Structure 1
Amino acid sequence: MAFDLADRGIYGFSTTENLRFADVDANGHINNGAFLELLENVRVSYLRQIVRTGLPRFRMVVGRIEADFKRQMFYPGTAVACCRLIEAHDRKCVVGQGLFDGEGNCTAVQKVIMVSLNEETHRATPFDPAVRAMLDRLVASKGGIDP
């Protein structure tokens, strides 16, 4: 299934983030690093509140981040950061994310590969079958939230 990460309608999970003066760079707009922090906030919240709920303990780490910056944002203001699972595999899953300004314009999209990690060996390991089943359901669900 292909997802247009710039389409606000594909996301069922989001957070509203305040843009800070400290996030402004020398060009007078919100720094790209702040975009990544805003997207990290929603990703961590999504993983804790939606993905991990009711499952056996498992650990994931970021294996890759691919971000596309689409337009500027300015202080003061707010942004809506969105998140959903877009792929599930044996040892990894892909989180799709979008960042939207206060007017609803897409300002950035991001794909994050999360790798299943064995806590003892610190090496990639297959997901527990219950976890994998939940990941598959989230990918297939409307908005990335289990129905």
Structure 2
Amino acid sequence: MSLDLTDRRIYGFATEEHLRFADVDANGHINNGAFLQLLENARVSYMRAIVRSGLPRFRVVVGRLEIDFKRQMFFPGRATACARLLDVHERKCVIGHGLFDGEGNCTAVLKAIMVSLNEETHRSMTFEPAVRAALEKYAASKDGLGS
């Protein structure tokens, strides 16, 4: 399934973010690094919500980030950071993100490749079947929330 990450309607999960003066760069707009932090907060919060929904405990780590910056954001302001599962593989999953300014304009999209991690060896491992099945349900759903 191919989804348009700039479309706010594909995301059932979002965090409301406050843009800080400390995030402003020399050009007077929100720094690119701050975009990554805002999206990371959404990703971590989304994954925690999934785990708390009753899944067996599992760990993932970032293997790759691909971000496209679409437009600037300015201080002061607010942003909405969204996340949802897009795809699940044997040892990794793909999480899509959208970042939207206070007017609802998409300012960035990101794909995060998350690798399944064995907590003891710190090596990649396959997802347990129950975890993979649940993650696939989230990825296949309309809003990324399994509904």
Instruction: State which drifts further: 105-114 or 53-62.
Output: 53-62
Q: TM-score, normalised by structure 2?
A: 0.97
CA distance, structure 2, for counterparts of residue 64 and residue 53 of structure 1 = 26
Tell me what 1:18 maps to.
Answer: 18
Check the 8 A contact 1:51/1:135 in 2, yes or no.
no
Greater shift after overlay, 31-40 or 120-129? 120-129
Mapped pair 1:140 → 2:136? no
Match of 2:20, as an amino acid?
R
- Contact kept, 8 Å, 2:51 with 2:57, in 1: the verdict is no
Output the CA distance in 1 between the equivalents of 2:38 and 2:145: 20
Q: Distance in 2 between matches of 1:51 and 1:80?
A: 22
Distance 1:105 1:44 in 2: 23
Q: Return the offset for 1:52.
A: 4.8
1:45-124 → structure 2 map (5 Å cutoff): 45-124=45-124
CA distance in 1, matches of 2:63, 2:7: 24
Is there any run of 5+ residues in structure 1 with no aligned partner, and where?
none
Using structure 1 for the length normalisation, give the TM-score: 0.97
- Please tell me the root mean square deviation across aligned C-alpha atoms, in Å: 0.8
Number of the residue aligned with 2:7: 7
8 Å CA contact 1:138–1:145 kept in 2: the answer is: yes
What is the rounded CA distance, in whole Å, between the counterparts of 1:56 and 1:49 in structure 2?
Answer: 13
Q: Tell me the secondary structure at the aligned position of residue 111 of structure 2.
A: strand
Alpha-carbon separation, structure 2, partners of 1:116 and 1:96 = 17
What one-letter code is carried by the residue in structure 2 that aligns with 1:56?
P
- Runs (4 or more) in structure 1 with deviation over 4 Å come to none
CA distance in 2, matches of 1:6, 1:93: 20
Whole-angstrom CA distance in 2 between matches of 1:15 and 1:29:
21
Unaligned 5+ runs, structure 2: none
Task: Count residues with an aligned counterpart.
Answer: 147
